[in-house]
Amino acid sequence: MRRRFSRMSWSRRQIVAAGVIGALLAVAVTIIGLNFLQPERRIQQQVEHRYATADPQFRHELSTLLGPPIVEGNRVSNFENGEQIFPAMLAAIRGARHSINFETYIYWSGEIGREFADALIERSRAKVPVHVLVDWVGSQKMDEVLVHRMAEAGIRIERYHPLHWYHLVRMNNRTHRKLLVVDGKIGFTGGVGIADQWEGRAQDQEHWRDSHYRIEGPAVAQMQAAFMDNWIKATGSVLRGDDYFPPLQRAGDAAGQVFTSSPTGGADSMLLMYLLAISSAVKTIDLSASYFVPDELTLQVMVAALKRGVRIRIIVPGEDIDTEIVRKASRASWGELLAAGALIHEYQPTMFHCKTLIVDGLLVSVGSTNFDMRSFRLNDEANLNVYDAAFAEELTEVFQDDLRHAKLITLQNWLHRPLTEKIMENAAAALSSQL
């Protein structure tokens, strides 16, 4: 009887253990599943052409639908590659007198990571409040020594959505924003991360091609608000006062707007901006896209633009890319665009990381957003829209210079690629909602 009772008890313990394990697995599967759910509300119908980019009604709708108003009186400066970008950002940091707010996806260890840390530490020791927000995933290669040095110098450094049990349902939501705001008066955004790959002038495969932008004027307050959006999410604290939101005077002639998107608020606002911009085009669209994986709706809007006579030129990375699966998923979608007349070019010298949209030589949109569903629906992103023909002309010249280093992909090239490539590309495209 004792032996039978012991076996029976052990069997019950096994059942209980199996039940607990099963429950934990169910919870894990549920949490993972929640991370892959699409936002509850999505744009499902094609955005039709109604207004030209130059039409005041178009600007009015962008102000209304995206949230922050388009404000006049801004000056926007363009910087190409790390040899121009990093000195400009570091000079702004070293000149800070009242506050520094810095949010970035990638912050890795290395020479440039240490140089930024040193500059931030020096300002913090000079009693300038410094706040740094880095993404938990994007900063995995950041040496903890740098984190400790910053914290010991008085910098408040936080990681966005770190891996905790109470953050598991948000583990697929990363901040991809790249924002630096100094004294509430100078702002930077664009594509660069804080890593040695962005140094130099894109001279070889070890140094990436990218662009970044400095803004002064009333729109800087919107960039500061974009930083505050995620700072509050990460810390629960609000930064207020003239150190962060000083009166801003007219600094130039460009109209500008800084807006954000996030799965927790305005999930489709970035996608909507791109759809509205593409649908407004009457002459030209130039798109630099480090990751170009459009969904079916976006393809429809682009094809519609091509059919009404809009010239569309796109530059994407070539074989030198940091995420090969994205390139494969991208190439799977090119057929319809190429057949309709789009000009798609692959950049050859190195990894191409630019994110620039130029429409009709008037509207320019730059920032952190990639042309893919991860940026449009999963990441926290921030973009700067600029309405200024002179600035658009300047960036068009940059675009045309990049074209000289890119290879045109024709419809015949695309149709006659090897069968193995087609199979792998279509398989990658099945994961496009997560890329």
372 belongs to the catalytic site:
no
Instruction: Give dist(CA 283, CA 52) in Å, integer.
Output: 9
355 belongs to the catalytic site:
yes
Q: Which residues are CB-neighbours of 148 under 8 A, at least 6 positions away?
A: none
Catalytic residue among 131, 161, 176, 328: 176
> Among 144, 189, 195, which Cα is nearest to 381's?
189
Instruction: Give dist(CA 261, CA 265) in Å, integer.
Output: 7
Catalytic residue among 135, 229, 286, 360: 360
Catalytic residue among 131, 135, 161, 183: 183
Contact 244, 96 (CB under 8 A): no
207 belongs to the catalytic site:
no
183 belongs to the catalytic site:
yes
Catalytic residue among 355, 372, 380, 388: 355
Query: CB-hemisphere CA count at 13 Å for 422?
Result: 8
Contact 212, 188 (CB under 8 A): yes
Contact 23, 274 (CB under 8 A): no
401 belongs to the catalytic site:
no
CA distances (Å), 390 to each of 57, 76, 383, in order? 21, 10, 19
Q: Which residues are CB-neighbours of 401 under 8 A, at least 6 positions away?
A: none
Instruction: Give dist(CA 56, CA 362) in Å, integer.
Output: 12
**354 — alpha (psi -120 to 50), left (phi > 0) or beta?**
beta
176 belongs to the catalytic site:
yes
Residues recognised as catalytic: 176, 178, 183, 353, 355, 360
